[in-house]
């Protein structure tokens, strides 16, 4: 899948354009090798959904060129549609029908014979753990079940390319886990997956390649590990037993780290970025011991993608769920 | 677990054969909705019957048919057309719901033709209209309405009513794609009554102020109502304006003209979802 310099400007009145009336996509480039799970990461309004809608032929583009499965999305839309599966932000399944009825209906619309559609429906129900739902209407499903059915529908033809647009938005942790498991299984079969998400840990968990998006273009690209190492090394964090010693501890640790220590006096927490993880850890223990500071907790960790995003854009992801963690970091 | 994906049947997905097959799949979907969830259908049928009872027993006593005749005989052809008009909001709502839930997007990401997808909705709604009309005819007979024409004329009248419905379904499809949100549906529902009343369905247009009567006469619904009154042998099918005299051909011309406008408009609107 290749996208080169995609541009898209909406009519404007519905507010889907970026801030300040900028186009929703402004020179969007993306290359995903066959069989890769690519995470497209960015805050709300970065243009993630617009890019998915263009690549899945739902939207026309104003400029640039995109090939999906080797076919041009603008010129050969029908060929592209035969090779893709789309799981959008809504669980786009029929709520009145049962799960099996949904799968058979979409199978028929994919031009499977009656028997093939039924067989496939039963296979997919079993595979996504929905076999015992019978003819219960989808309305009565939990959020996670609905999403899994949605994924199953997207998988009816085992498409070459699968688009997942924020597949776990609005799900509880259990539902998310269920969806993640399903996505991993698909990736294991060699499907090329483009996954958009604003949950950074989701991209971390699922994707082998991550593209960070902001203001309608890709601003960084790499494996999760590469992106993390871009902001330089690991982080050491510890919690001081006696809260009054936080200042002293920060001073002592300053020469171990490569940046200014970050201090949270209320929690007694001190964090600092370091160049060589394990050496720095040994050094930390030594200097704290010398200074006579007792610590409750000590950890060495890689930077989170939240930190990567902050580093790349100078902005936080404005994602309430992650705010707590950012304060601690 | 590894699954081998099934291969779809060969042939161009845009071919007429597949267009028909896809429409039928979606027709079956529409019908299974009503079978699995019959509440709204039962409610709409009951509502139609209730309106008939109201007009016959509550208002009917005060109505005088110009040129003489039984009000029930005058009213029922109007009622038949009116129930066809009431269906617009349901069509609009079904189309809007699919757009809002992302189902339309999923269809659009599949290799199906636009006309096939919309036609599925239209055929399902036509099947429901046949049921609605059957219930209405039985209700009408029960309250004392009688068709006096031949069997052929009776069937021709029912055909004209369903032709009007077909045109209205495509107006509903178009509105469903063009509008969004619950307010829009309420708007369509609210407009059904004035549009229906501004016709010869309930009262003779001769009793309205001249200019209003002329508008009502040119309402496509009036042409169908007047034409079916003539075919059923019911009273009130007379008038001296050109449009009333030519009600029979106009009961074909109007719906066909509306179809020729709203079918292409709907397909174009569907395509423009890409913008």
- Average pLDDT over all residues of chain A: 84
Q: Do B105 and A109 make contact, defined as CB atoms within 8 angstroms?
A: no
Q: In terms of residues, how long is chain A?
A: 329
Q: Are residues A76 and A213 in the same domain?
A: yes
Q: Are residues A32 and A105 in the same domain?
A: yes
Number of CB pairs < 8 Å for A and B?
106
CA distance A42 to A198: 6
pLDDT at position A328 is 33
Banded model confidence at residue B14, pLDDT cuts 50, 70, 90: low
CA distance A158 to A151: 11
Q: Are residues A42 and A141 in the same domain?
A: yes
Please give, rounded to a whole number of angstroms, the shortest distance from the CA of B101 to a CA of chain A: 6
Nearest CA in chain A to B38: A96
Banded model confidence at residue B23, pLDDT cuts 50, 70, 90: very high
pLDDT at position A76 is 92
Range of weakest confidence among A7-16, A127-136, A162-171, B143-152 = A7-16
Q: Are residues A258 and A136 in the same domain?
A: no
Chain A CB contacts of B32 below 8 Å: 96-97, 101
Q: Are residues A240 and A279 in the same domain?
A: yes
Distances (CA, A) of B196 to A19, B74, B211, B228: 46, 15, 17, 16
Domain for residue A329, yes or no? no
Q: Are residues A211 and A75 in the same domain?
A: yes
Which CATH number fits the domain that encloses residue A132? 3.40.50.300
Q: Are residues A35 and A178 in the same domain?
A: yes
Which CATH number fits the domain that encloses residue A237? 3.30.70.100
Q: Does the pLDDT of residue A317 top 80, yes or no? A: no
A291 or B57: which carries more pLDDT confidence?
B57
Q: Do B105 and A97 make contact, defined as CB atoms within 8 angstroms?
A: no
Chain A CB contacts of B26 below 8 Å: 109
Chain B CB contacts of A82 below 8 Å: 8, 13, 111
Q: Tens of pLDDT along B189-239?
A: 899 989 999 999 998 898 899 899 999 999 999 999 999 999 999 998 888
Chain A CB contacts of B275 below 8 Å: 11, 59-60
**Which residues are registered as beta bridge partners of A220?**
A212
A267 or A218: which carries more pLDDT confidence?
A218
Tell whether the torsion through CA atoms of B140, B146, B151 and B156 is positive or negative.
Answer: negative
Domain for residue A29, yes or no? yes
pLDDT at position B2 is 44
Chain B CB contacts of A75 below 8 Å: none
φ, ψ for residue B148, nearest 5 deg: -110, -5
Q: What share of chain A has pLDDT > 90, as a percent?
A: 32
pLDDT at position B175 is 94
Nearest CA in chain B to A102: B29
Banded model confidence at residue B12, pLDDT cuts 50, 70, 90: low
Q: Do B107 and A109 make contact, defined as CB atoms within 8 angstroms?
A: yes
pLDDT at position A153 is 92
CA distance A206 to B124: 42
A103 in contact with B, Cβ within 8 Å: no
Extents of the domains making up chain B: 17-31+82-272
CA distance B197 to A119: 52
pLDDT at position A21 is 63
Which DSSP string corresponds to B64-89? --TTS--HHHHHHHHHHHHHHHHHHH
Chain A CB contacts of B18 below 8 Å: 111
Q: Are residues A217 and A242 in the same domain?
A: no
A60 in contact with B, Cβ within 8 Å: yes
Q: Do A112 and B37 make contact, defined as CB atoms within 8 angstroms?
A: no
Banded model confidence at residue B44, pLDDT cuts 50, 70, 90: very high
Domain with A286 in it:
232-302
Nearest CA in chain B to A126: B1
Nearest CA in chain B to A182: B1
Q: Do strands A269-274 and A234-240 pair parallel, antiparallel, or not at all (unpaired)?
A: antiparallel
**Which residues are registered as beta bridge partners of A31?**
A2
Domain count, chain A: 2
Q: Are residues A243 and A203 in the same domain?
A: no
In A27-56, the residues whose Cβ lies within 8 Å of chain B are 53, 56
CA distance A196 to A180: 13
Q: Does the pLDDT of residue A329 top 70, yes or no? A: no
Q: Are residues A76 and A221 in the same domain?
A: yes
């Amino acid at each position: 899948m290749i996208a080169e310099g995609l541009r898209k400007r909406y009519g404007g009145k519905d507010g889907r354009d970026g801030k300040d009336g900028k186009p929703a996509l402004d020179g969007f480039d993306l290359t995903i090798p066959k069989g890769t799970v690519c995470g497209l990461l960015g805050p709300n309004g970065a243009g993630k959904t617009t890019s998915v809608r263009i690549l899945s032929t739902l939207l026309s583009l104003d400029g640039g060129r995109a090939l999906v499965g080797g076919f041009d999305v603008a010129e050969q839309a029908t060929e592209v549609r035969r090779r893709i599966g789309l799981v959008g932000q809504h669980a786009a399944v029929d709520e009145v029908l049962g799960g099996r009825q949904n799968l058979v209906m979409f199978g028929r619309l994919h031009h499977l014979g009656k028997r093939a559609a039924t067989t496939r429906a039963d296979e997919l129900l079993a595979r996504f753990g929905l076999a015992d739902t019978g003819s219960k209407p989808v309305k009565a499903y939990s959020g996670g079940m609905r999403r899994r059915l949605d994924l199953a529908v997207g998988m009816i033809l085992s498409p070459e390319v699968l688009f997942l647009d924020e597949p776990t938005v609005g799900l509880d942790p259990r539902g998310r886990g269920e969806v993640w498991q399903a996505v991993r299984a698909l990736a294991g079969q060699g499907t090329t997956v483009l996954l958009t998400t604003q949950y950074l840990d989701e991209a971390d968990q699922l994707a082998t390649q991550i593209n960070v998006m902001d203001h309608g273009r890709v601003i960084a690209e790499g494996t999760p590990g590469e992106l993390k190492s871009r902001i330089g090394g690991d982080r050491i964090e510890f919690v001081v037993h006696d809260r009054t010693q936080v200042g002293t501890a920060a001073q002592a640790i300053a020469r171990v780290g490569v940046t200014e220590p970050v201090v949270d006096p209320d929690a007694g927490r001190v964090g600092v970025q370091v160049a060589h993880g394990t050496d720095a850890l040994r050094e930390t223990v030594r200097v704290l011991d010398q200074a006579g500071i007792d610590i409750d907790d000590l950890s060495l960790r890689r930077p989170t993608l939240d930190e990567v995003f902050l580093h790349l854009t100078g902005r936080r992801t404005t994602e309430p769920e992650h705010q707590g963690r950012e304060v601690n970091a | 677990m590894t699954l081998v994906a099934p291969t779809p049947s060969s042939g161009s997905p845009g071919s007429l054969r597949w267009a028909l097959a896809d429409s039928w799949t979606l027709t079956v979907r529409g019908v299974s909705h009503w079978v699995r969830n019959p509440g709204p259908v039962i409610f709409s049928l009951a509502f139609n019957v209730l309106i008939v009872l109201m007009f016959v027993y509550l208002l009917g006593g005060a109505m005088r048919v110009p040129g003489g005749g039984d009000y029930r005989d005058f009213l029922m052809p109007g009622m038949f057309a009116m129930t066809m008009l009431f269906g617009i909001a349901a069509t609009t709502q079904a189309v809007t719901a699919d757009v809002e839930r992302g189902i339309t997007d999923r269809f659009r990401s599949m290799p199906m033709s636009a006309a096939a997808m919309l036609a599925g909705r239209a055929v399902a709604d036509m099947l429901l209209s046949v049921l609605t009309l059957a219930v209405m005819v039985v209700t009408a007979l029960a309250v004392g309405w009688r068709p006096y024409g031949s069997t052929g004329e009776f069937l021709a009248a029912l055909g004209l009513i369903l032709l009007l419905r077909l045109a209205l379904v495509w107006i509903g499809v178009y509105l469903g794609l063009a509008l969004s949100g619950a307010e829009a549906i309420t708007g369509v529902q609210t407009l059904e009554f004035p549009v229906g009343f501004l016709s010869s369905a309930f009262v003779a247009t001769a009793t309205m102020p001249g200019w209003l009567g002329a508008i009502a006469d040119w309402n496509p619904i009036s042409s169908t109502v007047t034409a079916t009154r003539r075919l059923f042998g019911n009273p009130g099918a007379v008038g001296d304006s050109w449009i009333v005299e030519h009600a029979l051909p106009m009961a074909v011309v109007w719906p066909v003209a509306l179809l020729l406008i709203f079918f292409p408009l709907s397909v174009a609107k569907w395509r423009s979802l890409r913008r």
